[in-house]
Amino acid sequence: MRNLLRSNAILMFAAIAVFAMYQETEAQRKKPTPKPTPVAEANPAPSDISYTVGMSQPWTHLLEVEMRVKWSAPNKVAPKTELKMPVWTPGSYLVREYARHVQNFAVKDGTGKALPWRKTSKNTWQVDTTGITELVATYKVYSNELTVRTNELNDDHAFWNNTALLFFVKGQLKMPSTVEVKPFGNWRVATGLPAVPDRPNTFRAPDFDVLYDSPFEVSDFKEFKFTAAGKPHRYVISGDGNYDAPKLVADTIKIIDETVKIFGDVSYDDYTFIVNTRGGGGLEHLNSTALQINRFGFKPNSRYVGFLSLVAHEFFHAYNVKRMRPDVLGPFDYENENYTRLLWVAEGSTEYYSNLLLVRAGLMSDKEYLSQRAAGIQALQNRPGRFETSLEESSFDAWIKYYRQDENSINNQISYYDKGEIVTLMLDLAIRGATDGAKSLDDVMRALYNDYYKTNKNFSDADFQRECEKAAGKSLDDFFSKYVRGRDEIDYNSFASVVGLNLVERATNAGRPYIGADLAEEAGRLTIRSIPAGTPAYDQGLNTGDQIVAIDGYRASQAFLQSYINERKPGDKIRLSIFRFDKMRDINFTLGSNDRKDYFFGPVATPTEAQQRLYKQLLNADLQ
């Protein structure tokens, strides 16, 4: 009986609830539909962004920046405006935390009234901007690190990357901007940005991707102007050096001409080579490059050719990366890592062309080219890390590994530059072999330029493989699975035979005793720099950083150690006295057998006509 009453009560309350819901719904239907409330623009675009960069006391290493942001009216300004500094620079894939060098930040409105501000993240300054029409931020950036991706100011010159110097307004990377430079003394200004007419030392960028892609050199530099491929070019060289300017210009024109032959046209209006004769390395930009070399690095010819290879590498980037862009590499997120699996194409393929262009330009012989490639293969084959990391993995992990090499990197990493160049050579040979020389990697590069860059598209890893397969006229999935996505040992001769070459392995040091550690001697100290896996040093417990002070009780040096063990044989025991963490210890060590191989390219025994023809097509010389 109680269960029946409970059921009736539940039914009654349910009916009441349904009726109430019906009444509420009818009332809502009869109400007029409210008009949507206008939503204010979260980050209204400024009408103007400009910078002034000064260097009144260069010996302090402080670049002085004033940033002006203007809006057309007070109601066009958000209550809060965020000023941000990039954390990395394109082309150098490491978060470098440029904001750590910022000091003396202050901000006012256009009348000089101080504005409240607060730091809200490592690279963000939030400013209260209610009711103003102009924001004027001033700050200084400590600049005392000469690399191609950082800044340096001293009494010789100023060099900087705008990513490491200039703030941007959150959400406004598409805004144009101007930069006025106030040089120190009689210094002049060089940059790839176009000058603003009738405004000395003032330059304009159409957006922040271009602004951040245009480094500055300010000094009493030497300038060498020339025309190549119908466009104006120039060298801006800061510092003295043993270079031959006319020869450098003539050889650079050859490199440019050979590059343009691949792509068919020039997509920039002018190009600037900025050279500092200190440091080392290069970094690509849209219509310029920053290069660094020791002032005496232009001679002898072998070192000069090395510099020309750097010139060719960075100039080729004007196409590969700056215009033909792998997936996420532009437009950029300047506050976070931009992950891609294609750095082996961006850098490895560019390195491949940097040396091939020298051959095509007559600046490197085919024998020199093959000797260098064999040396690169030898270095890769002596690197245990080739079995641990693929090219795609190396590209993706560049942000945490490539620029942070340690003593174990040889055992768990490869370089997307070095292996990327080798795999690109094999890929080019695969395409040439599949088409009997009718197609090559040049056709792939042209396709990326015409079908992607000219249609404003980036390319993916699948796109790159597809373009290679179009050129080859067949599937290359086995190649990409093994050598790009995978970690297989490269079958070098299956590719080298296309052009009548054979990669020869020679056990030059076979049977000789060795320790197996990479040693460095400096200031009389013999120290272990790295230890490849599988060597006697690795297996018997030597450590990176160990200082070898004696061998069998005799003072150790690089030369003495080598001569001493050469008088012994594998299996002999020696006593190594080492300092480890400043504590002396003796290690009883058994010498191993040096089975590492040297590598050389040589012609096959009886090259066919096709092999000889394809060799000449590739290396501009007869196969001998």
Mean pLDDT across the stretch 2-23?
A: 39
- Give the separation between CA 127 and CA 78, rounded to whole angstroms: 10
Considering the domain delimited by 343-498, tell me its CATH architecture. Orthogonal Bundle (1.10)
Per-residue confidence band for 250, with pLDDT thresholds at 50, 70 and 90: very high
The predicted pLDDT at position 231 comes to 98
Token pair of 232, please? 């104006």
What CA dihedral angle connects 381, 385, 391 and 394, to 10 degrees? -140
Q: What is the pLDDT of residues 270-279, one digit of tens each?
A: 999 999 999 9
Given strand 202-205, what is the order of strands in its sheet? 102-109, 134-142, 62-70, 48-54, 177-182, 202-205
DSSP 457: -
Which residue matches tokens 């795609």?
392
Indicate the range of 4-18, 119-133, 537-551, 558-572 predicted with least confidence. Answer: 4-18
The predicted pLDDT at position 12 comes to 41
The torsion angles phi and psi of 309, rounded to 5 degrees, stand at: -65, -40
Q: Where are the domains of the chain?
A: 48-220, 230-316, 343-498, 513-593
Q: What is the pLDDT of residues 415-454, one digit of tens each?
A: 999 999 999 999 999 999 999 999 999 999 999 999 999 9
234 residue type, one letter: R
- Within 8 A by CB and 6+ apart from 590, the residues are 536, 540, 571, 572, 573
- Give the separation between CA 623 and CA 615, rounded to whole angstroms: 6
- Give the separation between CA 179 and CA 203, rounded to whole angstroms: 5
User: What topology does CATH give the domain 48-220?
Assistant: Immunoglobulin-like (2.60.40)
Indicate the range of 43-52, 205-214, 266-275 predicted with least confidence. Answer: 43-52
Q: What is the pLDDT of residues 363-413, one digit of tens each?
A: 999 999 999 999 999 999 999 999 999 999 999 999 999 999 999 999 999
Other beta carbons within 10 angstroms of residue 239's beta carbon come to: 19
- Give the separation between CA 44 and CA 66, rounded to whole angstroms: 21
pLDDT at 23 over 50: no
**H or E, element range at 427:** helix 418-434
The torsion angles phi and psi of 222, rounded to 5 degrees, stand at: -95, 140
3 state SS for 126-145: EEECCCCCEEEEEEEEECEC
- Residue 26 and residue 20 in contact, taking contact as beta carbons nearer than 8 Å: no
- Residue 440 and residue 446 in contact, taking contact as beta carbons nearer than 8 Å: no
> In the CATH scheme, what is the code of domain 513-593?
2.30.42.10
Which residue matches tokens 């409240």?
116
Q: Output the CA angle 231-234-239, nearest 5 degrees.
A: 170
CA-nearest of 71, 247, 264 to 169 is: 71
Helix, coil or strand: residue 378: helix
What CA dihedral angle connects 283, 284, 285 and 289, to 10 degrees? 70
- Give the separation between CA 432 and CA 424, rounded to whole angstroms: 12
Mean pLDDT over the full length of the chain: 93
**Cis status, amide bond into 331, omega within 30 of 0:** yes
The predicted pLDDT at position 511 comes to 84
The predicted pLDDT at position 43 comes to 63
- Give the separation between CA 472 and CA 479, rounded to whole angstroms: 12
Mean pLDDT across the stretch 91-110?
A: 98
Treating both helix axes as pointing N-terminal to C-terminal, what angle do 418-434 and 441-451 enclose, rounded to 10 degrees?
100
CA-nearest of 210, 153, 154, 157 to 179 is: 210
pLDDT at 3 over 60: no
Pairing of strands 62-70, 80-84: unpaired
CA-nearest of 174, 142, 135 to 158 is: 142
Decide whether 343-498 matches 513-593 in CATH topology: no
- Within 8 A by CB and 6+ apart from 583, the residues are none
Q: What is the pTM of this model?
A: 0.90
